Chains A and B, each alone.
Chain A
Amino acid sequence: MNDARKSILDRLRLAQCSDSAFVKCDDQNDPVDPVLGPDERIDSFIDRMRAVRTEVHDAPHDSWLDILHGVCQARSLSNLLVSPHTRRGAMIYAAARRFPALKDYSQTIEDWKPELFAAVDAAVTSAYGGIAETGTVILWPDAHEPRAMSLVPPIHIVLLEKSRIYNSLTEAMQIQNWTLTGMPSNVILVSGPSKSADIEQTMTYGVHGPKELIVILV
Chain B
Amino acid sequence: MTMRRRNFLWGSAAVLGGGALGLGGAQVLSSVGSLAAESGDPDGVFPNIVLTSHESRNYRFYDDLIRGKKVIFNFFYSGCGDICPLSTQRLVEVQEMLHGRVGRDLHMYSVTLQPELDTPAVMRGYMETYGVQPGWLFLHASREDIELLRRKMGFVDPDPELDADLESHIGVVKFGNDEIGRWGACPSFADPEEILASILTIDPSPAARS
Q: Do A and B come from one complex?
A: no
